[in-house]
Structure 1
Amino acid sequence: MATKENIDASDEIITVKCCVCTKKNITRDAEKYCVECKDYYCIPCTDSHKMFPAMSGHQILDKADFSSHGLQVAELPSYPTERCSTHKAKLLDMFCANHNEVVCASCVAIHHRACQEIRSIPEDNENLYRESSLRETKTIVNAMKKTMEDIKKSKEQLLRELKKHKNKATDSIRKFRKEMEAVLEKLEKESIKEVEAEYEKMKVYYTNKSRKQRNSM
């Protein structure tokens, strides 16, 4: 029976797990690897990863590309998938810093009970993932903040330019009005002067004509 159970357990092993899904207690085979994030992703999580502008330029590798880039699956950060050689049904998911040894939970209970520095590998990976995600989030937030500040500065500069053009246009209108008033005033004076001159001319003409008529009588 033990042999059958061991075979069944090994059959259920997924070569590499999606780091994001593992956090959600979901076991899903990873199809991609991000060189910058140093994490494995399934296809849906890879699509979500690409949606973030700060991560859109990350190098995403397929499983088949690992070896061509000098990477080996065993060398890449991942959640534990290897079974303990002593306790076949247990994953090597614990690390004893006192002995510098990767062990399973049963090994800890039997051989490392007195050790003070026992760490959970999945928890360490999860903490690293959280820190990485937090850094990425801060980077995105800071980039968005800078973009908003740049937009605000651009709008303020545009408003200043618009106000400057408005004041310039207003001054030009007032200057034009004054120039037109000066032209009209000059035209008015010249026209009145011409009318006065014509009046005096006609007045002299009719006065002389009237005298001539009286003298002829």
Structure 2
Amino acid sequence: MTTNFSGSLTQDSEEVTEMYCEECDRHGDGYATAVAFCVDCLDYICVTCQRYHKRQFKTHRIKDSYSMPQDFYFEKCSIHPGQLIKFYCSECNKEACQECKDNEHVKCSDVSHLPTLASDIQKSDKLINLRKNMDQLSMNIKDTEKMLDAKSEVIKK
């Protein structure tokens, strides 16, 4: 069995392909499919919320469904159960929801959006090189197994 580490790590995972609107969820309006992502608010939004968001926040940058981050963390905050954890503070080594970020990590300088952070890691040269090295090691192991099998046959004779 050959393992290919240079392919996408998420191709065999249970990747979420449909995001939901956080505004609708936050206000109890139920489930709505997100079609956009506000880079400034770091929220996934549906068609209806996007229309109002563009009117209210004219300078906010909106990504469409093809360019918005796809990785998402669905765990709710233990302190604020209505909030999703979607940030990571490198200084405190803690995950945070929006409220925790705004209140507890306001002085922290390295708080990252988890989906963006995951996307950046997937594209990093270090990860790409690691995958290539793992592919090479996998091939080396396979070659070593073949050599050992051949030597075992010689010993048996």
Q: Shorter chain as normaliser: what TM range?
A: 0.3 to 0.5
More helix by share: 1
Task: Tell me which of the two structures has the higher relative contact order, counting C-alpha pairs closer than 8 angstroms and 6 or more residues apart.
Answer: 2
Q: TM-score, normalised to structure 2's length?
A: 0.39
